[in-house]
Amino acid sequence: MIPVHPSTAASARPRRGARSAAAPLRAGEHVVVVGYGPVAARFVEDAADLVAEGALRITVVGAEAEPAYNRVLVGEHAVGRTARDAMALSDPSALAAAGVEVLLGTTVVRLDRARRVLSLRDGAGAERELAWDRLVLATGARPNLPVLRGLNPDPAAYSHLPAGVTALRDLADAAAVRAVVARRGRVVVLGGGVLGLEAALAAAEAGCPVHVVHHGPWPMTRSLDAAGGALLERALAGAGVEVVSSAQAREVLLDDAGAFTGLALEDGRTLPGELLLLSVGVRARTELAEGAGLRTARGVLVDHELQADVEQRVFALGDCAEVLCRDPSCTVCPGRAGAGPSGLIGPGWRQAEWLAARFRAELRAVAGGGTAVVEPLVQGPEPAVRLKARAVELACAGTVSGEPWQAGPDGGSVVQWADGGAGSYLKLVLRADRTLAGYVALGLPRAAAEVGLLHERGTPVPADPGMLLRLDGVDAPAPAAPGPEATVCSCAGVSAARIVRAVDDGADSLDAVRRTTRAATGCGGCTDRVRRLVEEHAARVPA
């Protein structure tokens, strides 16, 4: 819950940055949302009641022909694990009923800030203008495409890839992948990041022979230390994914019909396959903002109030935005460098909820003659990277370099456990006060959960860190039921107590709880746990 105080001008809270230059949001203004992905969908959903009561107009412009769906689950969907229905993120009839206008299959080709209009092009190529008062950019990110012979890396047209080559970004990609997976075809993944590995593991689990090719010395090079990477590589091999590290791809080999047949490497090897998944990172879609003279770096630059311009007319959120306050002394964003697209759904949702709450507060404050005071959107610690796969359990975050026999950051220290036979690994990088600067946990799911909490909360690690290994010990007691306030769904920020209340209030299925609480609608990592909570509690509720 975001604390929002419709308040008077006499508020004691000092505000950073002057709002005076900007016109506050007024009743009846037209807010146009560019992009219709999960983050846009959340903003629109949260603000729909303002439309219904006539306080705002909202139009959403989406390039795809379909309403918003959960892009994070495209990979799951491609291997047949997640149904299309479960990916839906918006309820078109509810939005229509509220009065939100949704333009599908429509591309924004130009942003004019002076005249406050967008130029739109529909699927038939027809152009028209759309006027706005406030603009919310939620254009997300697009996959990077490698420069390889055989590919035509037009960054604006990745969908024109050869047959059998895909970046697995939308539903059309997923359909192509599903065909290959169904016949257990050979899969080559280019890219050793967490998304490439998740796709590789899903394909291997579906029975496909899988190779992952990447140029780093070990998989997840940027998130893992060398030891963790080496153990991860062994775990992946055990799960049927062969990793080819320190490899440079040279050429995509195609047959006479132009379909993928293999990936040639610089060292002369060729990895044959029917499917090439490209997973070499994403970058923010910033062209509209750039064309309109807004500042961009790894994304559209916004301050921690998500403002891209000093007039407070253009906002950006989700993967297309980079939060980096103009004021280097900003205390809300202490020490945080701007970050590129995280690929995580949770932080974008937090931003969407915050912006809707801010708009609401401004409208109410203006109506009451005061000034809106909204608690700033505090950037949490950099979120953990979790590899979501059945065969391999991995979580890591923060600084993971350093060795136990060296001093850690700030006079801290490093703790390390590795069991090559069991394939388990735990590395804790401690500051002098024993809080975690970073960690890696592989094959130790309960320790990973506990360490993740210690990291998020800034809680010191116990003096005897060997205790953490007991959580996954052969004689460990069944895990205690999570406390009612424990977060179950970190994407949507939903606690166990909230889910149980929803069941009490009549949500008697996973889908019903999803609709009511938004739990298990994000990355899918908590779906099993939410289903279990619903089933256990529903059984106890008197019919």
Applying CB under 8 A, the residues found at the interface with its own copies are: 227, 230-231, 233-234, 403-408, 412-422, 425, 430, 434, 463-467, 469-470, 472-475
d(CA 326, CA 343): 24
DSSP-assigned letter for residue 64: S
CB of 387 to its own copies, least distance (A): 17
Using the minimum distance from each CB to its own copies, give the nearer residue, 370 or 423. Answer: 423
CB of 243 to its own copies, least distance (A): 13
CB of 421 to its own copies, least distance (A): 3
d(CA 308, CA 321): 9
Using the minimum distance from each CB to its own copies, give the nearer residue, 28 or 420. Answer: 420
**Angle at CA of residue 475, ends 474 and 476, nearest 5°:** 95
End-to-end CA gap in the chain: 31
d(CA 27, CA 49): 13
Phi, psi of 21 (to 5 degrees): -65, -15
d(CA 533, CA 158): 41
Neighbours of 407 (CB within 10 A): 12
Determine contact, residues 298/339, Cβ cutoff 8 Å: yes
Determine contact, residues 274/187, Cβ cutoff 8 Å: yes
CB of 472 to its own copies, least distance (A): 8
Using the minimum distance from each CB to its own copies, give the nearer residue, 230 or 491. Answer: 230
d(CA 40, CA 352): 7
Using the minimum distance from each CB to its own copies, give the nearer residue, 71 or 431. Answer: 431
**Angle at CA of residue 151, ends 146 and 156, nearest 5°:** 70
Using the minimum distance from each CB to its own copies, give the nearer residue, 288 or 414. Answer: 414
d(CA 454, CA 437): 10
**Can you list the positions of beta strands (E) in 8-77?**
29-34, 56-61
Using the minimum distance from each CB to its own copies, give the nearer residue, 444 or 533. Answer: 444
CB of 99 to its own copies, least distance (A): 59
CB of 455 to its own copies, least distance (A): 17
Beta pairing, strands 424-430 & 413-419? antiparallel
Give the dihedral sign, CA 444/203/35/28: negative
Q: Which helix (H) or strand (E) covers residue 234, if one does? A: helix 226-238
Using the minimum distance from each CB to its own copies, give the nearer residue, 29 or 450. Answer: 450
CB of 473 to its own copies, least distance (A): 5
Using the minimum distance from each CB to its own copies, give the nearer residue, 54 or 238. Answer: 238
Determine contact, residues 197/389, Cβ cutoff 8 Å: yes
Using the minimum distance from each CB to its own copies, give the nearer residue, 299 or 402. Answer: 402
CB of 394 to its own copies, least distance (A): 14
Determine contact, residues 76/82, Cβ cutoff 8 Å: yes
Using the minimum distance from each CB to its own copies, give the nearer residue, 291 or 420. Answer: 420
CB of 427 to its own copies, least distance (A): 10
Using the minimum distance from each CB to its own copies, give the nearer residue, 166 or 424. Answer: 424
Q: How many CA atoms lie within 13 A of 377 on its CB side?
A: 22
Q: Among 344, 219, 211, 207, which Cα is nearest to 277's?
A: 211
CB of 395 to its own copies, least distance (A): 18
User: Looking up tokens 């591309």, which residue turns up?
Assistant: 107
Residues whose CB is less than 8 angstroms from the CB of residue 48 and which lie 6 or more positions away in sequence, other chains included: 58, 94, 95, 98, 100
Neighbours of 436 (CB within 10 A): 24
CB of 423 to its own copies, least distance (A): 9
